[in-house]
Chain A
Amino acid sequence: VTIIHQASHIILLYVNMAAARRHRRVAASQPGFIPLKSDLDGKSLSIGRRKRVNKNKKKNWNKYSDINDVEEFLDDVRLQERATGGLIADKTDESLFFVDTGTKESVLEPETGKKSKPLRIDLILQPTSNVAPPKDILAHQRPNAKKERRIAQKIQKLTDMGVLPRRKRPQKVPVKEKPIISKDPDRNFYDIWSAGSPETADPYYLEQTKKKLVKRPEKMNEKPSLLPAVEVIAPGGSYNPDFLSHQALLLEAHEVEVTKLKAETKLARKLAVNKKEFATQETTFKEQIEGLVEEGEEPENETEGPEAVADADEDEAVGPTAQQEKKTEKQRKREKDERIKELQKKAARQMIDSRQQLFKLRSIETELKKREQKTKMRQIKRKTQQEAQKTLPRRLGKLKFQAPDLDVQLSDELAGSLRTLKPEGSVLKDRFKSLQKRNLIEPRERAKFKRKHKLKYVEKRDFKEIK
């Protein structure tokens, strides 16, 4: 009966959609309907004067029809179904309410052996919704072998004729099995070198479906450096080294230190300032009057001395030359003849030179040989430099590569036995430097903390009072 109630109620609503008041009255008047939301009760709201609208126009059907009530009602119904499993109106009183008869004295029941009651939390978490979970249609679909065979045959026929199918379903290549990705230390590995590659499929297909694996540029497969990954330390670095090899290693370390020291002393030397060599007023004055004053004269004449010398210099100045007169015809002709003669001489000289070169062949040959030698030497030099450069670490950024310090133990630090050995250097640092040396990473320094605004130090008032 309730279902029929609901259906008729909804139909009514859809039929009489015009007045808000009537809707509410209808909803409220239905016997037994208890809405979840309280504002659907039959409380009439005061609605003022409304505008008269022509509802016969199609434009106004959507504009001025108010279906909020229906929507609210339907939402409420759905909510009830979801949350409480069915309409509250249809539920029995016992399921909704209980009579509070005070607390019962808890009687501990002995656990009946194997079975124990299910936890309340598990019960609460059971699904109580009336809404059935959506059906997985794909799970029900079963491939029809006959159908598939027929389709395959048709496609085969077409490809034999030369017509390529549009969908290319049979060309679907099985995807490589996806690796199990996790950081789990127990994760599995598989053989990546034996797995089939998707290159077996048609390249055009792969290109069009964007499944084609991009070719790796060849330069990427070259190693960034020719140095070996792990460089073994010199024999002097053994924990119990042979005397001379240990000395050799110490010598190397010594050399490094000496160069560092030299650089420092050089810098200090260049920047050294001798305070005694500073210029004082006396010395500047002496420098100015050097050579001007004879021995034994009074210092008062010294000021006049420089002035007198200046005047004398002026008289010896050489004046400019006199103005030139115009050139005569003779002079012009003469100059022209001279010019022509010069040119002729030059030409004649050139002719003779080119003829004499025949006799100079031997010396020319030797000169050419020398030049070739030079170029060859330069080529060899450049090549050796390039080769040497390959083993050096490249400059890959702002900072230069700093070679790590040699790990050396002094003679008195050497351990006699493995038990008393104190390891020198850190393998982590060694590996890090090795990565930089082989041009795999660029040398970087730690990022410094830069303050945007300067810190302001303020003395507390209490402290200010203290003198």
Chain B
Amino acid sequence: MGGLQKKKYESGSATNYISRNKARKKLCLSLADFRRLCILKGVYPHEPKHKKKVNKGSTAQRTFYLLKDIRFLLHEPIVGKFREYKIFVRKLRKAYGDLQYPTFIDALRDVDDALSMCFLFSTFARTGKCHVQTIQLCRRLSVEWMNYIVTSRSLKKVFLSIKGIYYQAEVLGQTITWLVPYQFAHDHPTDVDYRVMATFTEFYTTLLGFVNFRLYQTLNLLYPPKVRDTHTLSAPGSELTNAYLLQSLALFHWFLCLILSFSHLHPCSQEDMEKMEARVKAQHEQDKQKKLFEGLKFFLNREVPRESLAFILRCFGAQVSWDKSLCIGSTYDAEDETITHHIVDRPNMDKQYMNRYYIQPQWVFDSVNAKMLLPVEDYFLGVTLPPHLSPFVEEKEGDYVPPEKLKLLALQRGERPVEEDEEDDEEEEEEEDDDEEEEEDDDEEAEEEAKLKEMEEKKSQGKALPVKVTPGKVKSENRHRLEQEEKAEEKRLAIMMMKKRDKYLYDKIMFGKKRHVRETNKMVAKRKALDEASKADRKKKKQKKQ
């Protein structure tokens, strides 16, 4: 009776999964090595849909891997000969995951994770917690990547956050976002598994190395890039070795950069003229954006984040330099007369030259995000900076748009910035003038009201009004406005003619839509209230001072 019956857990999902311990025993590896192998080969645990079936009736929380994946791992040549970690990793590198990324584009998609990891590791202190060689390798790879971005001018967005700096670039059609931590020292958290992170870093460094190689090929650059001969190296000790240079992040200034000719690939197919025009226009805009800082000469003061700023400025064609004593690679001094912008982060500066702007670093980042050179006045020394908006936020219709962003959009459209009533505390006269203006306006309104009241009184009294019939003026009718009005009329009529049931539904829908707008209005009101409150505070402070 028992022979022909189907037994439980012998087929189906129970046989597709294998628990972690069983997989480990099958591969004859220790747990740490098993985890390392999985990370390097890209095998991840899966959560089965019906856990009870896979677990053969038990509900214990187990980690499951797909049986096919583990069987695939069995074909790894090192599994049978595994002994030490070094030999393990050495032999594992034979299959770098080139099968994991069958095409280059797949690899590019995963490169932002790799980049973030590499940049993170390159900021580690060389205490020996992880291999110093890994840190050096990460530095080298990150510097090579930055060099590629600089030469291909593909940086699009930058965002300074409290965690670190977010960059976004467009490489071969793929949008790549990565995060770079700040250079200041930080504590190492204790609940992070360093071995796992180190394994991931190994995998990612390999991936990034290959990606860099391929990218350099597309630009016809030599890989690995060599240090240019040092005719401008005035630093002491011209016997600087390659190794020392590699360690400094200013290396990318010295790489061999061939003059590139950007070949704009227009696919030759039959397309509409409009599309072609649109594409040409877009291309033109992109080119304009790439040369944002072209022709400008910058000088970075000591307290400013040098690597980040130099990278961004170079990406858009500017010339950058810094103080000689900071780092190698400075091309001109602070005394150079042709410097157009001097980036400072102090409240004031002792010696100020006439023909250059002294601005805070946020100007650079905001200009990059706005894709145009913003007015420098908002970023002078000692000025309260406008908020640094995130370029990664896409506002939909009806969403709250902060007034700063509105201003920015207006600037981009080419409108001049409207002179606001809110100015600095230092400019007292202007404020007084404004106050006077407001009072005048109020007076005018009061006068008009008074006039109207008079007229009404006269009419009621039956007196003849001192009004005359004058020839009419021709009002220029705006066709566009007329059309809009007609449409609005039609809509109103249609709504009136709807059935009760349909009207009910329509009202409900409109209510839902308008909710968004209502909330936006609320936010605007809040902001206004805050601004007025701050204005009042400032006035009070001024009065106290006086």
Contacts and interface: CB of A to CB of B under 8 A. Distances in A.
A64 B137 CA distance: 69
A149 B243 CA distance: 51
B213 interface: yes
A409 B161 CA distance: 11
B63 A242 contact: no
B346 A419 contact: yes
A407 B162 contact: yes
Interface string B339-353: 000000110000000
A423 B184 contact: yes
A216 B402 contact: no
Given A230-B112, A242-B402, A427-B116, A219 B161 contact: no
Interface residues of B, number: 98
Contact of A432 (B177, B193, B223): B193
Interface in A223-241: 224, 228-230, 232-235, 237-241
B372 interface: no
Interface stretch (B94-102, B280-288, B432-440, B457-465): B94-102
A426 B194 CA distance: 14
Contact of A397 (B61, B69, B137, B530): B61
A286 interface: no
B419 interface: no
A229 B113 contact: yes
A242 B530 CA distance: 12
B104 A230 contact: no
A198 B39 CA distance: 26
A183 B162 contact: no
Contacts of B385: 240, 416-417
A230 B42 CA distance: 18
A7 interface: no
Given A184-B133, A419-B345, A432-B192, A409 B44 contact: no
A198 B493 CA distance: 74
Contact of A423 (B66, B112, B162): B162
Contacts of B116: 229-230, 427, 431
B197 interface: yes
B186 interface: yes
Contacts of B44: 224, 439-441
Contacts of B186: 423, 426
A216 B99 contact: yes
Contact of A396 (B63, B94, B182): B63
A229 B390 CA distance: 19
SS of A interface (majority):
loop
B210 A192 contact: yes
B120 A189 contact: no
Interface string B12-53: 000000001000000000000001000100111111000000
A425 interface: yes
B514 interface: no
Contacts, number: 230
Interface in A422-442: 423-432, 434-435, 439-442
Contact of B164 (A185, A216, A417, A423): A423
A427 B164 contact: yes
B193 A242 contact: no
A458 B186 CA distance: 43
Interface in A187-237: 187-193, 213-214, 216-217, 219-221, 224, 228-230, 232-235, 237
A431 B117 contact: yes
Q: Which of A230, A234, A440 has the most CB of B within 10 A?
A: A230
A217 to B, nearest CB: 4
Contacts of A395: 47, 61
A421 interface: yes
Given A220-B72, A432-B193, A193 B214 contact: yes
A409 B100 CA distance: 40
A13 B75 CA distance: 58
Contacts of B103: 193
Contacts of B96: 179, 192
Interface string B195-238: 01100100000000110111001000001100000000000000
Given A416-B385, A425-B163, A232 B177 contact: yes
A330 to B, nearest CB: 50
Contacts of B137: 183, 185, 187
26 contacts: A181-B93, A181-B94, A185-B136, A186-B242, A191-B213, A193-B103, A193-B104, A217-B69, A219-B66, A219-B68, A224-B44, A229-B113, A230-B177, A235-B392, A238-B388, A238-B389, A239-B388, A242-B387, A245-B402, A416-B385, A417-B345, A418-B305, A418-B345, A419-B345, A426-B189, A427-B179
Given A232-B161, A242-B402, 18 more contacts: A185-B140, A193-B98, A216-B72, A228-B177, A232-B392, A235-B389, A235-B393, A237-B390, A240-B388, A245-B390, A409-B162, A423-B182, A425-B162, A428-B120, A432-B196, A441-B44, A442-B45, A444-B193
